[in-house]
Amino acid sequence: MEILNIWRAVKSRWLWVALCVLTAVGATALVLIVSGTKYVARNDLLITASGGGFGTTSEYVYNAERLSAARAPTYAQLIQNREVLTRTSARVGQGVTPDEIQDALDVRTTRDIPIVRIAIVDSDPRRAAAIATDLAEVFSDYASELELSDGVDVSVRPANIRPEVEVDGNIVTRLALAAFFGLLVGVIAAALGERLGRRITTGRELEEMGADYQGSVKATEGHIDSWDDIDYAPDYRRLAAAVAASAKRSNASRLLVTGPGDPMTTSTVARGLAAYLAESGARTLYIDARAELADVAGKSAAGTPGLTDLLLSVRDLDEVAHRADVSNLTEIAIGNWPNQLESLLVRFDFASVNQAFDSKFDFTIVDGAAATVSPAGVAVTPLADGAVIVGVAGISKRKDVEELASVLAGLRVPVVGMTLCNVVEVEQIAEPAAPVS
C-alpha cells in the first residue's frame, strides 16, 4: 500500500489509531503501577591473569589478556551456579534465598573483554546493592579457589566497592515506547481496515487498481425489465465508446460484465452497455447468464429458449437468439433450465459457439454473476475473452474488486476496463425537458 493510501486510511480511521495509542500507554502505566518501582544495582567483575610461564614482556601481556578474556564467558556461567548463589544468600541474610538471587540476577559479557557485568533488580535499592556487593565478593573468593595452577593466577575483583544503584528503566522512555508501539499497531489496523472494509465511492479508487477506468454511469434503483428502461444515455454512450476502444486494443470482443456489488445494478450496466454499443452501429449480442436473477428479471424458468437450451444442444444459435427492441441488438435469454447453468457450462465445449458469436457479431456482452460470488460466475468465463468490472458506489468493497480482478486474471480473462455505477432512486430521475416551441 502506498504512503498516500496509508495516510488516507489514518485520516479516515484516526479514532482507531488514537485508541491503540491510549490502550498501549494505559496498559504500560498500569503494569508500572502494579509492579511498583524497581531498582537495579550494577557492578563489573574485572578478570586479571598474572604469574609465570608467559615468556617475554610483550608476550606476557598478550597471553595474559587472552587468558583473561577467555575466562569471561566461563565465569559468567559459574557465577550463576548453585554453590555461588547459596554462599551469597548466606552472606546477604535478610531472608534472601538462592532462587530469589537467581531470578534477580542478569549476567552479561562482551567478546574479547575480560569483564563480567552483573546486575541485580529488586524493589529495595539497599537490598539490591547488598546482593550485588556480596555476590561480587563471594565469586571473587570462589574463582580464587578454582584458579591457581601451573604458576598462573587468574583473579577476579569487583570494579566498584559500592555498586551503582538506579531506577530500573526510564518511566518516560517506557511510556514513549508504548505510545510508539500503539501508534504502529493503530496505523497497521487502520490500513488493513481501509483495505478490507473500504467501500468504493470515486472513480479514482478504481484507477488506482491499474485497470483502464471507463468513467462512471448511473442506474435507477432496482432491476430493469426492458430495454426502454435504460436512462442516462450520455453516460452509457461514453461507456460504450470507451469499452469498445479498450476491447479493440486487447483484441477482445466477447465481454463478461461482472462485479462484486449488487447484481441487479451490474445487470443494468451490462444491458446499457450492450444497448449503446448496438446504437453506435456495432452488431451486438447480449447473453443473459445470471441464473441467480432468472426469476427476479421476469424471465420464466420455462418456455423461453435460451443459453441453457443452446448448451444442451436442444436448440441452435439461430433459434435461441432474438432481436431486441434496439437496432443492431440481439439477445439470448437464460433458457429453460437456469438451475442447470453451472453444470452445463462446465461440460460444454465453447470453441464452436464462440466462433459463431465472433462471425455474426462485433461484440458479445455476457451478463453474469461475479466469479468470486457464484460458481456459475467462474463457469461462464469461457464465453468471454475480456471482462468489464462494475463497481457500485458506496456498496462495492475495494478488496472485493481486487479479488475479482485477480480471479479473472487467473482464469485468463483480462480486465479491459472498470466502471463505477451510482445508483439513483426513481424519484431522483429528472423528467426530460419539454421541446422548445
Residue 294 predicted with pLDDT over 60: no
Over residues 79-103, the mean pLDDT reads 85
pLDDT for 260 equals: 84
Q: Which three cell numbers stand for residue 92?
A: 546477604
Sign of CA dihedral 107, 110, 111, 116: negative
Who's near 213: CB < 8 A, 6+ residues apart? Answer: 203, 206, 207, 417, 418, 419, 420
Confidence (pLDDT) at 302: 47
CB atoms within 10 A of CB 82: 10
Question: What is the model's pLDDT at position 297?
Answer: 41
Mean of pLDDT values over 353-372: 87
Is the pLDDT assigned to residue 295 strictly greater than 50?
no
Q: CA separation (Å) from 351 to 247, 356, 383?
A: 20, 9, 9
Q: How many CB atoms lie within 10 A of CB 335?
A: 29
Measured CA to CA, the distance from residue 56 to residue 164 in angstroms comes to 38
- The mean pLDDT of 70-80, rounded to a whole number, is 83
Q: What is the pLDDT of residue 361?
A: 93
Per-residue pLDDT tens for 329-347?
999 888 777 777 778 777 7
Low-confidence winner among 54-68, 279-293, 337-351, 383-397 (lowest mean pLDDT): 54-68
Can you tell me the distance from the alpha carbon of 275 to that of 325, in angstroms, rounded to the nearest whole number? 9
Please give the average per-residue pLDDT across 404-412, as a whole number: 89
Residue with the larger pLDDT of the pair 121 and 66: 121
Residue 83 phi/psi, 5° resolution?
-60, -45
Question: CA–CA separation, 244 vs 363, rounded Å?
Answer: 9
- Measured in degrees and rounded to the nearest 5, phi and psi for residue 389 equal -95, 130
SS3 string of the chain? CCHHHHHHHHHHCHHHHHHHHHHHHHHHHHHHHHHCCCEEEEEEEEEEEEECCCCCHHHHHHHHHHHHHHHHHHHHHHCCCHHHHHHHHHHHCCCCCHHHHHHHEEEEECCCCCEEEEEEEECCHHHHHHHHHHHHHHHHHHHHHHCCECCEEEEEEECCCCCEEEECCCHHHHHHHHHHHHHHHHHHHHHHHHHHHCECCCHHHHHCCCCCEEEEEEEECCCCCCHHHCCCHHHHHHHHHHHHHHHHHCCCCEEEEECCCCHHHHHHHHHHHHHHHHHCCCCEEEEEECHHHCCCCCCCCCCCCEHHHHHCCCCCHHHHEEECCCCCEEEEECCCCHHHHHHHHHHCCCHHHHHHHHHHCCEEEEEECCCCCCHHHHHCHHHCCEEEEEEECCCCEHHHHHHHHHHHHHCCCCEEEEEEEEEECHHHCCCCCCCCC
Q: Largest Cα–Cα distance in the chain? A: 125
pLDDT tens-digit series, residues 15-65: 888 898 888 888 888 877 776 677 888 888 888 776 555 555 666 667 777
46 vs 155: CA distance, rounded Å: 8
The pLDDT assigned to 194 comes to: 65
Q: Which of 391, 376, 353, 163 is nearest to 262 (CA)?
A: 391
Q: Which fold has domain 39-167?
A: Alpha-Beta Plaits (3.30.70)
Interval 264-285: pLDDT, tens: 888 888 988 999 999 899 999 9
Is the confidence at residue 382, as pLDDT, over 80? yes
Alpha-carbon distance 258 to 260, whole Å? 7
Q: What mean pLDDT do residues 100-108 have?
A: 85
- Contact (CB, 8 A) for 24 and 178: yes
What architecture is domain 201-428?
3-Layer(aba) Sandwich (3.40)
Q: Report the pLDDT value the prediction gives residue 221, as an integer from 0 to 100.
A: 65
Q: pLDDT: is 226 or 79 the higher one?
A: 79
Q: Is the pTM of this model over 0.85?
A: no
For residue 254, name the pLDDT band (cuts at 50, 70, 90). very high
**Average pLDDT, stretch 299-310?**
67
Which sequence spans correspond to the domains of the chain?
3-36+171-196, 39-167, 201-428
**Residue 246 banded pLDDT, cuts 50, 70, 90:** very high
Does the structure show a pLDDT above 60 at 94?
yes
Percentage of the chain exceeding pLDDT 90? 12
For all residues of the chain together, what is the average pLDDT? 79
Q: What is the pLDDT of residue 24?
A: 87
pLDDT confidence of residue 120: 86
For residue 229, name the pLDDT band (cuts at 50, 70, 90). Answer: low
Asked if the model's pLDDT at residue 1 lies above 50, the reply is: no
Residue 380 clears pLDDT 90, i.e. is over it: no
Average pLDDT in the 206-216 region?
A: 80
Phi and psi at 31, nearest 5°, equal: -65, -40
Query: What pairs with residue 122 in β-bridges?
Result: 39
Rg (CA), the chain: 39
Tell me: pLDDT of 5 over 70.
Answer: no
Cell of 176: 514513549
Calculate helix-pair angle for 82-92, 125-146, nearest 10 degrees. Answer: 130
- What pLDDT score does 298 carry? 41
Residue in the structure block whose three cell numbers are 529495595? 124
Residues in the chain: 437
pLDDT band at 437 (very low <50, low <70, confident <90, very high): very low
